[in-house]
Structure 1
Amino acid sequence: MAGVAAFTALNLTALTACSGSAVTGKPGEAGVGDPYFPKLGNGGYDVAHYGLKLDYDPKSKQLAGEAVITARATQDLSTFHLDLTGLDVHKVTVQGKPAHFNRAGSELTVRPDDDLPKGETFKVAVRYSGKPESLVTGGGKEGWMTTADGVLALGEPTGSMTWFPGNNHPSDKAAYDIEITAPKGLTAISNGELKDTRTGKDGRPTFVWHSAEPMASYLALVAIGKYEVEESKVKLGDSRLPIYTAVDPTQAKQSQEVLAKTPAIMKWSVNNLGAYPFASFGAVVDRPDDVDYPLETQTKPVYPGSPDETILVHELAHQWFGNSVTPKSWQDMWLNEGLATYTEWLWSEDNDGLTAQDIFGQIYKGEGEALEAYEIDPETLWEFPPATPPSADVISDDPVYNRGAMVIHKIRQAVGDNKFYDIIQGWTKKYRHSNADTKDFTAYVEDKAGKNLDSIWGPWLYGNGKPAKP
């Protein structure tokens, strides 16, 4: 690993002397101050594009990578940080010139040869290699995870920094081009659309994936393994969009029926949630032993074994809630999960299942078939308010999901169905491909409702314990 000492004032002085230019800028912050992950992300710049070239050997578990990051300085910048954990950094250039760099924990500190003035667009290239490792957070194992026949890289909330350097916080979204070279006989999958597949002189294939729409780093995906791939197109709105589905052969038979429902779910979602925000969609189904949770990776959710219909609806709803409209911080995760969970309730209501009111009522009472169907523990549901989880370890717990969905149902009760659907579709349109927080949401809802809704926000969104009345 290149340089593990902290980047001290003495280091900064030495690097400044080597640069041959007077320092006029200031160092960018090492972290954006997220309430739960304060060191994630970095200040001083905004990323527009990641160009990643990855070469992975499952036998040695070695990854060789090059990241070319295009960003704009948001201040006069003398040094800046990239999030990267593990791996050895071999070379860093900024605007084509060699740059000084240092490592401290998950921070890669870069000192360009020349300061970067505010507003300047610049490119930083990082060459790196090593054995990526997974991380364990409150939500479980994440990051670069080896599988029975390859690898699966998932990044919520922090894991993307295990396999590429970047501004690893949802508030900085960017476009991506990801090239993955895999062993012979294996397929490499990522977000967006497959633009090219080529075979090198050594017979190994390289898969080239393109994501033009902005994406948060935690939604970036790499899946390498043996997959049965199906490609087709379906009409959504005015466009025919490609579907790319990759299924581990051991899961193919049991997945076939439920995955065939994807086009119908997507058409229903467009009618209820608004225009689909991306240029393609699909799925990756791996073995249950490879990962123990589904994730809404952009355009291609990942499933641990064959998903059931409810999970399929939930992860596809995230393409609107979370992937297109992305939280400003991890404290706002209920906006992702509460809205995606409520979409499950709407799907049930429209497909001869329990109505959303039935589900809401049974959850509140703590009895009924909805608790088993949606795996709800009525005791833990009221442990904390959905908008203010007490720590990072519980941002994926039940109050964020199901109590968050109850907030959405209370809004529907307050405004009526016609205005409710106008609010949901207007929300996904106004904040399409951008970031929003809880205050943005409550202000938007009240504006469209034309009335104060503190009677909802107080007890249901921010209040401790079970509200007195359903």
Structure 2
Amino acid sequence: MTHLMRKCRRAVVAVILVTASLAGISVPAQAAPRTETRAAAGAAGSGDPYFPNAGNGGYNVLHYDLALRYTPPSDPSVLVGHLTAEASITLRATEDLESLNFDLRGHEVFAVWIYGTDGKHGESQGERIPAEWAQMRDDAARVWELAITLRPKLKAGQEAVIEIEYSGNTGRPVDTTGALYGWVTTSDGAMVVNEPEGASTWYPVNDDPEDKATYTFRITVPEGKAAVANGLPGRRPATKAGWTTWTWEASDPMASYLSTASVGDFALSYGEGPRGLPIINAIDANVTGQALTDTNAALALQPRMIRFLERLFGRYPFEAFGAIVDDDSVGYALENQTRPVYSQVASENTVAHELGHQWFGNAVSPADWRDIWLNEGWATYIEWLWAEQQGKATVAKQFTDAVAELDRKNLWGLNIADPGRDNLFVEQIYRRGGAAIHALRAEVGDVAFFEGAREWLARYDNSSAITKDFQEVIEEASGRQLGAFFNDWLREGDRPAMP
């Protein structure tokens, strides 16, 4: 491992500890009586099969408080912005810890402080202690670590608040397939879309979908720009000396890949869904003509879509909904929690898809990224359900069309329950995934199918799970063993038996 970035105070000990942790070496604490539990270095990765270096071990984040000051590009032809930020992260140790890591890339850390290591919670309680810290970067291995030495150590169950000051230029980061993600600098601001592990491009994070937390965003941008994040508005936007601060509060637990802080020339509108649910839409001023007409028509259907899906799957799971429609030409759509983002246009079927994710993917997230079909298969099927509701095409017809397309392109060979890191968003995940959901409905019948879906959402709400968990829930609901069905429709390389 090559250490290309290293900043620390009295960091010789910190670097030794963290480097050993990254290498999987156990670093003993100072000699202690046999009755004491020795503190450990929190793992520098979650161990996800596809992204083993993303996420961290030894703690759970409870809340991220992010104060971001963003300067968009001064020259639209040079897509580089600048971010200066402070992250205040409340966490709880899950084991005795002498050090812990966050994921952070592309930014230089200037200071780290720790509050509440005496067991108290919150910045106003406990001593504010400067921390030893080090940054490690290995681009080839996709390792970007901020390691913090804890003095005093944290005991299991103890809470602390860690404050990190950092800054850096923003550009156009890409995932392992070369697709843009994370904090994507645009000519008028930034499109922020993290899936699967791009949150670390703009804040220190435990970038593991199993570790959900609440968020506060305070985003300061040049006057005239708007900043849109998850959840609900906090304080009214306040402008001082040519800069405006936008505040958003996301009080529902959220996986880091679903967070956003998009910046641009947005016009915001406020509406209501069922039971007064706030619906907040932000549309870029450069979305015009037919794109704007289609977008407005689709977004106007959001309340009806929510009511329809609530009848099938239970109450909408979050405090708000809405959309961010950017004029960026990426052709992107992502189900950011409570505020999906769309590039250029929000079409009706895509809005239904991203809304469906609020239940399937956001409320219940994949514990491992190889189980992404649970997100995309369900969201695709919800597109089909909505189209049938609108009288456009029956679900059966859409299933038949999907199977025909898989036949035509000979796409049955991929195991969608373990597709490989760079196949998370290929066509089969969506099309075969949606077809598998419909075939499951035909296999177990409507009663067991919808009862099982609602039980899945209730059992794993605000949490994460895997394919095996989903299979067990449907087996309980149907009273049948479904191992052969799941193998046939998800894993085996031959065309499955049609219902």
Scaled by the length of structure 2, the TM-score of the pair is 0.86
C-alpha distance 10-174 of structure 1, shift in aligned 2 (>3 A):
closer
Name the counterpart of 1:129.
167
8 Å contact 1:34–1:330 — kept in the other structure?
yes
Match of 1:85 among 105, 116, 121: 105
- 1:79 and 1:377, CA in 2 relative to 1: closer, same or farther beyond 3 A? farther
1:12 aligned residue: 16
Q: Does structure 2 conserve the Cα–Cα contact (< 8 Å) formed by 1:326 and 1:434?
A: yes
1:43 and 2:57 are equivalent in the alignment: yes
Equivalent in the alignment of 1:173: 212
- The one-letter code sitting in structure 2 at the alignment partner of 1:286 is D
Secondary structure in structure 2 of the residue aligned to 1:182 = strand
Among residues 3, 6, 19, which one is paired with 2:6 in the alignment?
3
User: Counterparts of 2:194 and 2:421 in 1: how far apart (Å)?
Assistant: 15
Q: Of 454, 457, 470, which residue of structure 2 is paired with 1:425?
A: 454
**Can you give the 5+ residue segments of structure 2 that lack an aligned partner in the other structure?**
20-28, 33-37, 75-80, 116-127, 138-143
Q: Residues 385 and 465 of structure 1 are in contact (CA less than 8 Å); yes or no, is this contact kept in structure 2?
A: no
**In the alignment, is residue 110 of structure 1 matched against residue 139 of structure 2?**
no
Q: Does 1:54 align with 2:83?
A: no
Aligned to 1:287: 327
Q: 1:341 aligns with which of 373, 380, 384?
A: 380
Q: How does 1:426-441 map to 2 (within 5 A)?
A: 426-441=455-470
Cα distance, 1:263–1:468 mapped onto 2, change above 3 Å: closer
Does residue 70 in structure 1 map to residue 100 in structure 2? no
Deviation at 1:197, TM superposition (A): 2.4
2:165, 2:278 → 1: CA distance?
33
2: CA distance, partners of 1:13 / 1:27 = 7
Q: CA deviation at 1:335?
A: 0.7
1:201 and 1:215 map into 2 onto residues whose CA distance is 31
Instruction: Specify which of 329, 343, 347 is matched with residue 368 of structure 2.
Output: 329
**Structure 1 residue 211: Cα displacement:** 0.5
Contact 2:73 2:187 in 1 (8 A): no
- Seen in structure 2, the aligned counterparts of structure 1 residues 302 and 230 have a Cα distance that, compared at 3 Å, is same
2:303 counterpart letter in structure 1: P
Residues 67, 165 of structure 1: 8 Å contact kept:
yes
Please list the CA deviations of residues 372-404 of structure 1 after superposition, one character each: whole Å capped at 9, or x if unmatched. xxxx68425313121010x21101112211111
Provide the C-alpha distance between the structure 2 equivalents of 1:181 and 1:10, rounded to a whole number of angstroms.
33
SS in 2 for 1:129: strand
C-alpha separation in 2, matches of 1:466 and 1:54: 50
Cα separation, 2, equivalents of 1:319 and 1:97: 39
Matches of 1:380 and 1:211 in 2, distance apart? 43
2:498, 2:322 → 1: CA distance?
Answer: 41
Report the secondary structure of 2:53's partner residue.
coil
Cα 1:202–1:10 change in 2 (3 A) is: closer
Structure 1, unpaired ranges of 5+ = none
Q: Is the 8 A contact 1:57 1:183 kept in 2?
A: yes
Correspondence for 2:314: 274
**Secondary structure of 1:408 counterpart:** helix
Paired residues of 1:381 and 1:402 also in contact (CA < 8 A): no
TM-score for both structures, normalised by structure 1: 0.91
Deviation at residue 469 of structure 1 after TM alignment:
4.4
Assess if the C-alpha contact under 8 Å between 2:230 and 2:338 holds in 1: yes
1:245 to 268, 277, 281: 281
Alpha-carbon separation, structure 1, partners of 2:263 and 2:107: 19
SS in structure 2 opposite 1:161?
A: helix
Give, as a single letter, the amino acid of the residue that structure 2 aligns with 1:3. R
Greater mean deviation of Cα atoms: 147-156 or 83-92: 147-156
Q: Report if aligned partners of 1:193, 1:209 keep a CA contact under 8 Å in 2.
A: yes
Q: By how many angstroms is 1:361 displaced?
A: 2.3
The more displaced of 252-261 and 66-75 is: 252-261
- Is the aligned partner of 1:413 residue 2:452? no
Say yes or no: does 1:305 pair with 2:335: no
> Which secondary structure state, in structure 1, belongs to the residue aligned with residue 365 of structure 2?
strand
Aligned-residue offset at 1:9: 7.4
SS of 1:136 mapped into structure 2: coil
Q: CA separation in 1, counterparts of 2:256 and 2:465?
A: 16
> 2:359 aligns to what SS in structure 1?
coil
Q: CA offset at residue 182 of structure 1?
A: 0.9
Q: 1:65 to 1:466 in 2, by over 3 A?
A: same
Structure 2 residue 402 is the aligned partner of structure 1 residue 379: no
- The one-letter code matched in structure 2 to 1:333 is I
Distance in structure 2 (CA, Å) of the matches to 1:377 and 1:135? 35
Question: Which whole-Å CA distance do the structure 2 matches of 1:461 and 1:400 have between them?
Answer: 10
Q: Between Structure 1 and Structure 2, how many residues are aligned? A: 452
Q: Bigger shift: 43-52 or 193-202? A: 193-202
Deviation at 1:200, TM superposition (A): 4.3
Partner of 1:359: 398
**Alignment CA distance shift 1:359-1:14 (3 Å):** closer
Q: 1:62 to 1:363 in 2, by over 3 A?
A: closer
The 2-side partners of 1:362 and 1:250 are apart by 35
What CA distance in whole angstroms lies between the structure 2 residues aligned with 1:52 and 1:58? 18
Residue of 471, 474, 498 corresponding to 1:442: 471
Which residue of the other structure, out of 463, 473, 488, is the alignment partner of 1:459?
488
CA deviation after TM superposition for structure 1 residue 416, in Å: 1.5
Kept in 1, the 8 Å contact 2:7–2:109? The answer is no
The answer on whether the counterparts of 2:14 and 2:134 sit within 8 Å (CA) in structure 1 is no
Contact 1:2/1:90 (8 A) holds in 2 = no
The runs of at least 4 aligned residues of structure 1 exceeding 4 Å deviation read 7-10, 20-23
CA distance in 2, matches of 1:349, 1:10: 59
Letter in 2 for 1:440: D
Cα distance in 1 for residues equivalent to 2:408 and 2:104:
39
* CA spacing shift, 1:288–1:229, aligned 2, 3 Å: same
Q: Conserved in 2, the CA contact under 8 Å of 1:100 and 1:112?
A: yes
Seen in structure 2, the aligned counterparts of structure 1 residues 14 and 340 have a Cα distance that, compared at 3 Å, is closer
Which structure 2 residues correspond to residues 163-202 of structure 1 after superposition, within 5 A?
163-202=202-241
CA contact (8 A) 2:133 2:146 kept: yes
CA separation of 1:62 and 1:139: change in aligned 2, threshold 3 A: closer
